[in-house]
Amino acid sequence: MKFTFVLKAFTALALSSSIASAALYTVDTAHSTVGFKVKHMMISNVSGNFNTFKGTFDFANGTFSAIDGVIQASSIDTDNQDRDKHLRSADFFDVTKHPEITFKFTKQEGTKVYGDLSIKGVTKPVVLSLEMGGEVKDPAGKMRTAFVLEGKINRQDFGLTWNKALEAGGVVVDETVKLIIDVQGVRQ
Answer yes or no: is 91 within a domain: yes
CATH number at 80 reads 2.40.128.110
Residue 162: strand, helix, or coil: coil
Answer yes or no: is 140 within a domain: yes
What is the total count of domains within the chain? 1
The answer to which of 13-22, 33-42, 159-168 has the lowest mean pLDDT is 13-22
Answer yes or no: is 105 within a domain: yes
Distances (CA, A) of 130 to 101, 133, 157: 20, 10, 23
Range of the domain at 158: 22-187
CB 108 within 8 A of CB 127: no
Answer yes or no: is 120 within a domain: yes
Answer yes or no: is 15 within a domain: no
Answer yes or no: is 26 within a domain: yes
Q: In which band, very low, low, confident or very high, does the pLDDT at 41 lie, cut at 50, 70 and 90?
A: confident
| Residue 18 pLDDT | 41
User: pLDDT by residue (tens digit) across 164-183?
Assistant: 787 777 777 888 999 999 99
Answer yes or no: is 3 within a domain: no
> What pTM did the predictor assign?
0.85
- CB-count burial class (<10 Å; 0-12, 13-18, 19+) for 128: buried
Answer yes or no: is 72 within a domain: yes
